[in-house]
Structure 1
């Protein structure tokens, strides 16, 4: 279907029914009657292809139409390959998420942001767990702080029904996602390289510092109460 769209985008040979056209090539351009341009194409064993129909007169090239279509398809494929599709990835927490689950989801959020995707993290309050909404807010603020290197806060935690949402946007442009085999090889190499230097840091995950001005929360307004909640995490 996409190939047909490219093919139908251009008029060729007798489909071009204007009085005159501008022929462009390596040697420059010239305006000639359309009938003469068709004769030139036949003499050279190529096609008359209209590449700019809205110009006055329309711009055409003398080129093999099959070769021209191949070049257009190849160019469109290259442009698509360079584009990074931005998606919104969701991370779900409970109000009393344990440390192992928290670190597991933190790892995935880093990967999402590194790929150029946005992250929407939320705490789901089921039944009477809504009583722990303040605990859920602190959890999301800690989550944002731990991702400071990878993303910026787009929207501070806010309660919508039974869910409290936090929105993060990537700091850097995304890169093409690597295959799982490549990721496994990199992980193994990094583990071998870092093994002799590994240090155990106790209770570090329970500490966090209030970000400096212009840091993590540069694009979001933080209330005094939110600042106080971040400070409590340190105690």
Structure 2
């Protein structure tokens, strides 16, 4: 059962929604290590005395470190404190970038001009902080020459102007060869075994 009560700071608090913190009469220990509303260390004091000090200032006694011995409590406006904590949490979530994987597709016999354009798009995605999956599509007899795909991937990497890391090395999956990279430490080689890939496709 959820029970709401009014804190001494004037806001409503839910006994089951206090972020795991106990406040005021919910604090049942005999004594606490007290921090006053100005940040001053008051040492270890009886809990009843700490509650009286908070009440005299029309503030709340909040248990901020329950695992300490004795628990650490602070005198503050709990409603305002909770609002500030929730605001910090919302702000931190806003600042978290959602990592996306962008895909660039091309053919093994791509021309130099188109290759430059594709590499430019890859660089733009990396600059935006996204991972990039580069996919080569093989058709018909092209499957007998997967080494061309490794060559194209190597040429793309040579055209990148910033550091990168190979998250997933080049590998065949049916008619497609793909490699995933991100913007980290630079590597200048495409890890491959073209002969093994040829044998696998031909069998």
Give the TM-score taking structure 1 as reference length: 0.63
Correspondence 1:86-235 to 2 at 5 A: 86-98=99-111, 101-126=114-139, 128-171=141-184, 216-217=187-188, 222=191
Mapped pair 1:22 → 2:33: yes
Of 19, 24, 38 in structure 2, the residue corresponding to residue 13 of structure 1 is 24
User: Deviation string for 1:71-103 (max 9, x for gaps)?
Assistant: 212322343344444333322223344556544
Corresponding residue for 1:53? 66
**Relative to total residues, which structure has the larger helix share, 1 or 2?**
1
In 2, the alpha carbon distance for the partners of 1:165 and 1:52 equals 50
Partner SS state of residue 69, structure 2: coil
Of 74, 80, 93 in structure 1, the residue corresponding to residue 93 of structure 2 is 80
User: Deviation string for 1:90-139 (max 9, x for gaps)?
Assistant: 22223344556544433332122112222221213355542342222211
**Structure 2 stretches lacking a partner, 5+ long:** 1-13, 196-203
Is the contact made by 1:6 and 1:73 (CA closer than 8 Å) also made in structure 2?
no
In 2, the alpha carbon distance for the partners of 1:224 and 1:132 equals 12
In 2, the alpha carbon distance for the partners of 1:79 and 1:96 equals 46
**Structure 1 stretches lacking a partner, 5+ long:** 173-214, 227-235
The alpha carbon displacement at 1:59 in A equals: 1.1
Partner SS state of residue 10, structure 1: coil
**Relative to total residues, which structure has the larger strand share, 1 or 2?**
2
Give the TM-score taking structure 2 as reference length: 0.71
Return closer, same or farther for 1:108/1:14 CA change in 2, 3 Å cut-off. Answer: farther
User: Deviation string for 1:167-196 (max 9, x for gaps)?
Assistant: 222138xxxxxxxxxxxxxxxxxxxxxxxx
Is the contact made by 2:32 and 2:70 (CA closer than 8 Å) also made in structure 1?
yes
Is the contact made by 1:141 and 1:157 (CA closer than 8 Å) also made in structure 2?
no
